[in-house]
Amino acid sequence: MTEKKQKRILLLSVSAGAGHLRAAQAIEAYAMQDDGEGSAAIASHLDVMDFVTPAFRKLYTDFYIKLVNKAPALWGYLYHASHDAPRDGSMQRLRRGIERLNTRALMAQIAAFQPDAIICTHFLPAELLSRALRQEQLACPVWVQVTDFDLHRMWVHERMHGYFAATDEVAFRMRHEGIPAERIHVTGIPIMPAFAQVPERVQCAQAFGLDPRRTTILLMGGGAGLGSLDTVAARLLALPGDFQLIVLAGKNAAALAALQDLAGQYPGRLLAQGFTGEVERLMACADLVITKPGGLTTSECLALGLPMIVNAPIPGQEERNADYLLEQGVALKAFDGVTLEYRVRLLLDHPQQLQAMRAKALALGRPRAACDVLALVLDDGRAGAVLQ
């Protein structure tokens, strides 16, 4: 009996925001699933920031996070300016030179793994590998997964074997940027296997001490004009109506403590959660999600058919994500506490609108995007990198 040869799949992401990492982890999770005959592939996931100098890491990740939190308008300007910047401009050449100097250790790690294919969930490794392919330092196919409902030109590089797009519109923009249509696949944005099957609401609610019969709102982020999580939660709980509230504080211990104090003032109405690996089970309890419009989080909401109120999107990719969700009728937008209160009241008073949004969200969701991406990479019969 011939032993099945497993392809070696290398996933490259960048920890500038959580979405790029989560997309890579989702594809890796499907690759490692055992179908009874072994896993689909041998997969390894690397964060490019683990292979750069501390100074470069601080500039690339810490600066980005500070910029979007403290000066979102400046980030929006840079997002649009870099999209329109000439590829051969002096600033672009300088940026690429600095990136190459700071990622030599990554290239050595790639060579050691000997991948049959590489999937990039961030534009930085795609750009670096485009140069490696051009100089014949790399022979395996490189694929690119765009992780937003938009396409920035920094994602577009020569010699990529294929691109995965969130929507038909993103695919259209890819073709407009010169990517051949046969290399573009509309798969959605990869999310974890847990989202491929909707958890049972009653069981999940009971496990968390919630009433599955009551309308439930899930709050996944404050700030950016809305206020701190406990402030937003207190404002929501003061609204009329018989609903319960789940608030995710993540790794913010101070926010979690404040929320737990608030929960004591509203017995049976507020569930405060810190960092959790059961987000899909908490989402299964909810009728409405209030969230920042990141590509991964909103894809998870769509997979479970959850209407959204998106709050204060960061200019740039989040703004484009919000535009898409609003156009599709699956979300409303709140830019401050007053509009958030109005939107929540509106949906609580009009459950038929909430239900219509839910149906549209389910229709848009692509819960098996990561599985589809992996299948396309594994089934691709064209050996070697495609050159332009």
Q: What is the pLDDT of residues 16-68, one digit of tens each?
A: 778 899 999 999 999 988 766 667 789 999 998 888 777 777 776 766 666 66
**pLDDT exceeds 60 at position 229:** yes
**pLDDT exceeds 60 at position 95:** no
Tell me the longest C-alpha to C-alpha distance in the chain. Answer: 67
What share of the chain in percent tops pLDDT 70? 82
> Which H or E run includes 279?
helix 279-284
Which pLDDT belongs to residue 88?
58
CA dihedral of 125, 130, 136, 139, whole degrees rounded to 10: 70
- From the number of C-beta atoms within 10 Å of its C-beta (0-12, 13-18, 19+), residue 378 rates as middle
82-96, 155-169, 290-304, 305-319: least confidently modelled range: 82-96
- The 3-state DSSP class for residue 101 equals helix
- From the number of C-beta atoms within 10 Å of its C-beta (0-12, 13-18, 19+), residue 386 rates as middle
Can you tell me which residue has the tokens 């001490």?
209
Instruction: Name the more confident of 66 and 213.
Output: 213
Q: How many angstroms separate the CA atoms of 5 and 296, rounded?
A: 32
Average pLDDT over residues 183-203: 95
Instruction: Name the more confident of 121 and 154.
Output: 121
Q: How many angstroms separate the CA atoms of 310 and 328, rounded?
A: 13
Strands (E), 213-285: 215-219, 243-250, 270-274
What share of the chain in percent tops pLDDT 90? 61
**Residue partners of 189: CB distance under 8 A and separation at least 6:** 23, 145, 146, 147, 148, 149, 166, 295, 296, 299, 366, 369
Q: How many angstroms separate the CA atoms of 295 and 259, rounded?
A: 26
**Among 315, 329, 373, CA closest to 80:** 315
Q: How many angstroms separate the CA atoms of 324 and 361, rounded?
A: 12
Is the CA virtual torsion 288, 293, 297, 303 positive or negative? Answer: positive
Percent helix, strand, coil in the chain, to 5, is: 50, 15, 35
Which pLDDT belongs to residue 37?
63
Which pLDDT belongs to residue 31?
94
Which pLDDT belongs to residue 272?
94
Q: How many angstroms separate the CA atoms of 388 and 384, rounded?
A: 13
Which pLDDT belongs to residue 353?
96
Strands (E), the chain: 7-13, 41-47, 117-120, 142-145, 162-165, 184-186, 215-219, 243-250, 270-274, 288-291, 308-311, 331-334
